[in-house]
Amino acid sequence: MSDNPIALIVLAAGQGSRMQSDLPKVVHRLGGVPLVGHALAAGRAVEPERVVVVAGHGAEMVRKAVGKLDPEAAIALQEEQLGTGHAVLQALPLLDGFEGRVIVLYGDTPFIGEDTLLALSSHPADVVVLGFEAADPGRYGRLVVGPEGLERIVEYKDADAATRAIRLVNSGVLAADASLLRALLPQLGNDNAAGEYYLTDIPALARAEGRRVEVVTCDEAETLGINTREELAAAEAAFQSRARARALEDGVTLSDPATVWFALDTVIGRDAVIGQNVVFGPGVTVESGAEILPFCHLEGCHVSSGATVGPFARLRPGAELGGDVHVGNFVEIKNSVLDEGVKVGHLTYLGDAQIGAGTNIGAGTVTCNYDGVGKHKTLIGANAFIGSDTMLVAPVRVGDRAMTGSGSVITEDVPDDALALGRARQVTKPGLATRLMQALRQKKGQ
């Protein structure tokens, strides 16, 4: 990596009309997170001192998404979309005082790799353009390279037959020194059919001043841009394929790789086992040696070594599973900590709870954590036994080694070592069932 400081500008102002959506294009999700999150995540490889995202259409939605993904990123507003050069110009005031290299990325181009960004950040040229050898150059702008580097960028409509035969094309990604951008961006003209100010004119302006302009190349797959729903679906397939391959290479067992879906930030340790039809939302860490059985959905949670989850379990944000915890079928856990060795076999909801080590939670248990206004905490101690079909009305505490009887509604704290019963006394009426059924049949017959 270069010793020079790095700043990122991520262009995310476009509407994306071809998406046929009311949402800004960059907030559509890929790998569980908004598209712009991929550019921000990739940019972390160069350890930027500053990050600026340029928003325009749906700016408030973009601001909200970026705030969750990278709270330190600044937002520049491009109120009128007048081209990529104009967008970068809107970001410059937020880089006041910054002296170093600026890399311009696109919020709808999610696959730029770490090595590529490092090459852009460390190249000694004054301006560096990212290009790629296209299998089908189509209508891309061609990069004409000579002995002294990049000579010019020629748009398809302006290219002659010889230039159109060039397969080295422009990705739109560019890196340049901040001081040079400050000098050149105001010089951009808009004498073109669209009346816009194009960032692709910067290399020519730089060469006119005797600056060195070069090309860094990457694989074409890194430059995949997303403009339509079909392209978004293709990008999702490509992302999942890479994520699955990476997990297998890292020593994770995937019973049926094609049915496992990852998020951008999914972390799974080696020797973990992932069953069929498992979906990882954002913010999931699964430690080495844990097992996620088929048909589970996990988001914003942590699963420790030796734990087993599923089948058919749901872990929601804030779920923290300690070592050797077992969460079984049709169990939902949200914002709860389960200490080592807790067993939650089936048909249970635990929300806003703290469960002590070695405790057993019976089938059908529910923490009644919401009173219609606020959420409340349930605390269960170590080595407790919660009987099946127990309703724990929070706020409530069940002590260490305490028990609740099956079918109980627990509304008061239960001391350590105590048994709590919260159910009505059973009343038995001999012969009444038969008489009732006879009466019902007679009534129906009438």
Torsion of CA 107, 109, 111, 117, to 10 degrees: -70
Distance CA 126, CA 146 (A): 16
Question: CA-based angle 244:246:250, to the nearest 5?
Answer: 115
Give every CB contact of residue 116 below 8 A, 6+ residues apart in sequence.
130, 216, 218, 222
First to last CA, the chain: 90
Annotate 129-187 with DSSP letters as a single string: EEEEE-SS-TTPPEEEEETTEEEEEE-GGG--HHHHT--EEEEEEEEEEHHHHHHHGGG
CA 25 to chain centre: 16
Distance CA 326, CA 338 (A): 10
Residues β-bridged to residue 142: 154, 169
For residue 289, which of 306, 303, 268 has the smallest C-alpha distance? 306
Rg for the chain, CA atoms, rounded: 30
Distance CA 59, CA 73 (A): 14
Distance CA 129, CA 285 (A): 37
Residues β-bridged to residue 146: 149
For residue 18, which of 122, 108, 149, 105 has the smallest C-alpha distance? 108
Q: What three-state secondary structure class fits 17?
A: helix
The tally of CA atoms less than 13 A away on the side-chain side of residue 303 is: 36
Give every CB contact of residue 426 below 8 A, 6+ residues apart in sequence.
none
Tokens linked to 156: 């398809």
Q: How many helices (H) and strands (E) does the chain have?
A: 9, 35
Catalytic status, residue 346: yes
Catalytic residue among 57, 86, 297, 346: 346
Q: Which residues are catalytic?
A: 346
